[in-house]
Chain A
C-alpha cells in the first residue's frame, strides 16, 4: 500500500513525538491523577497492615480543619507575593542596566547570571551561613565586634521568613531580568529618538514607551516567577526546616513532611492536589490576561 506524502509526514511526525508523550504521561500526568486517587484513601506508610481503605473526602475535611496547613498556605502566598514583587522590581533594574551598551557588558551579564546558576541548596546553605548567629556576615556587618549583640536571625519568626525571601530574591531576580531584557530588546531605537526630538525626559520615555511595550514580557516574567515561587522547598528545607514555630512552613514543605517524613501518603496527597489546583488557577488567570494568542504564536 502506498501512502500519500502528507499521510507519511503525519505518521513520521507522530512517531517522533511518541517518546515525549510517553515520558510526560507516565511521570507527570498519570502521577497527577494518581495523587488525587491517593488523596481519597487512608494510606499510612508505616502501617501497611491497615491496607488502603477508600474514605471519600475524609482527608479533605481534615485538611480544611488543619490549622498548620492554613498557616502554611498563608506563608506560601505571602512568600510568593513578596518574592515575585521584589524579583520583578530588581529584575527590571537589572534588565535596564544590561540592555545599555557599555564596555564589559558581557562580563556583567555573566556575573548577574551567577546567582541564577548556583544550585538552590548551595545558595540556601550560603545564606544560612551569612545569617548565622555566631559566624554570620550579617551580624558582623551590623554589630561589628560587639559579639553580645549578635542575633540568631533564623530563630526569629519574622527575620527567618525575611531571610528566605532575601535568599530567593537574590537568586532569581536575574532570571526575571533576562525575561524582561528580551522584551526591552524588541523596542526599536527610533521610538526613543523620536521621543528625544520631541523633548521627552528620560522618565517620560520610560513611562510612555518602555513600560507599555515591555508589559507582555513583564507578565511572562511574573507568571514564571509566581509558579516557581509556589514550589519553594529547598530554601526552607535547608535554612529553617519550616521553623521557628512554623513561621516558614510552606505548602510544598508541609506536603513533603506529611508524605515522606510522617508517611501519611493519603493525607499528604490532599496537599499535593491543593497545590496543583491553586497553581492551575493562577496560571489560567495569567493566560487570560496575556491572551492565549501569545502561547500559540510562541512556536
Chain B
C-alpha cells in the first residue's frame, strides 16, 4: 500500500516535470490549423511544417549556429581558465585564497542589471557590440565562479601522494598539472563543462543587450523576439524551442549523475 502511494507520487512528479514541455513539442508538430483551433487539438497530425517554415522564414539554423559558437567558445575558455585557477586554489600555497574564493562567490550572485550598463559601454568602446567576443567575454566572467568551484572541488579529492610522486620524479609544476592532475580530474572537468555550456546556451539577458543585430543573435534571443505579421507564430516558436531544448534534454539524460554531483559539488561540505 505504501509502495503504491510512493509510486503515485513519483508518477506525479515526473508528469508535472515533463508535461508542460511535451505540450510545446506537441504544438510544434501540429499543422497551422491545429495550432489555432479552439479548443486545442491534443493529438497533432505530426506535420513538420513549422520546423520547415522556422528554418526557411525565420532563419532558425542561423540562431543555432550563433548559439553553438557562443556557448562552445565560452565553455572552452572558461574551462581552461578554471583548470588553472582551480588547481592553484585547491592545491598550491598562496595568499588571499579565502578572499579570491569569496570574490568568485560574490560574482556568481551579482544581479546582471548591476553591471549591465557598464559592460555595454565597455563593449561599445571596443566596438564589440554585435560580435561573438562581445558576448563570450562577459559569459566567461559569469561562468568562471561555477567552473572554478566545481573543478577545484574535484581537484581537492585527488590524493596528494600522486603529485608528490610526480614531483620527486622531477616533474615541474605545469607538467604535474597536465600529466597527472588533468587526466585524473577529467570527469570533474567534463562535469563543469556541461554546466557551463548549459548556462551559456540558455543565457538571455546579456545576449539581448549585446546582440541587437539579427545576424549575431543566439537562440534564446531569437525565440523571445519571434514576431509574426498579425499574430504570434506559435508553431514556429514551439519548433524553435524544441530545437533549443533537445540537446539539453539529451545532456540531462546522458549525464544525470554528473550533473547532480556537479550542482551539489562544494555546496554542502559544511
Residue ranges of A at the interface with B (Cβ–Cβ < 8 Å): 6, 8-10, 12-14, 16-17, 19-21, 23-24, 26-32, 34-35, 38, 93-94, 97, 100, 102, 106-115, 117-127, 129-130, 132, 134-137, 139-140, 144-145, 147, 150, 170, 174-175, 178-179, 181-183, 186, 216-217, 220, 224, 227, 230-231, 233-234, 237-238, 251-252, 255-256, 259-260, 265, 268-269, 271-273, 275-276, 279, 283, 290-291, 293-299
Asked if B148 and A20 make an inter-chain contact with CB atoms under 8 angstroms apart, the answer reads yes
* B1 contacts the other chain (CB 8 A): no
Interface code B29-56, partner A: CB below 8 Å = 1, 0 otherwise?
Answer: 0000001111110000000000000000
**What are the residues of chain A within 8 A of B148 when measuring CB–CB?**
20
B139-166 contacts to A (CB < 8 Å): 140-142, 144, 148-149, 152-153, 156
List of A residues within 8 angstroms of B201 by Cβ: 119
Residue pair B21, A269 in contact (C-beta under 8 Å): no
**A-B contact count, CB below 8 Å?**
319
What is the predominant secondary structure among interface residues of chain A facing chain B? helix
Partner of A275, one of B113, B238, B245: B113
A256 touches B21 (CB 8 A): no
Residue numbers in A under 8 Å from B85 (CB-CB): 16-17, 19-20
Say whether A27 contacts B38, CB under 8 Å: no
Interface of B is mostly: helix
**Chain A residues within an 8 Å CB radius of B259:** 113
A-B contact pairs, 29 of them (CB 8 A): A8-B173, A16-B85, A16-B87, A20-B100, A23-B81, A24-B104, A27-B119, A97-B6, A106-B256, A111-B13, A111-B14, A121-B204, A121-B220, A122-B24, A123-B20, A125-B24, A126-B23, A132-B234, A140-B39, A170-B20, A183-B268, A233-B112, A252-B205, A255-B116, A256-B113, A260-B209, A298-B153, A298-B266, A298-B270
For B98, give the chain A residue with the smallest CB separation: A296
A109 touches B21 (CB 8 A): no
Interface residues of B (CB under 8 A from A): 6-7, 9-10, 13-14, 16-18, 20-21, 23-24, 27, 35-40, 81-82, 84-85, 87-90, 92-95, 98, 100-107, 109-122, 137-138, 140-142, 144, 148-149, 152-153, 156, 173-174, 198, 201-202, 204-205, 208-209, 219-221, 223-224, 234, 237-238, 241, 244-245, 248-249, 251-253, 256-257, 259-260, 263-264, 266-270
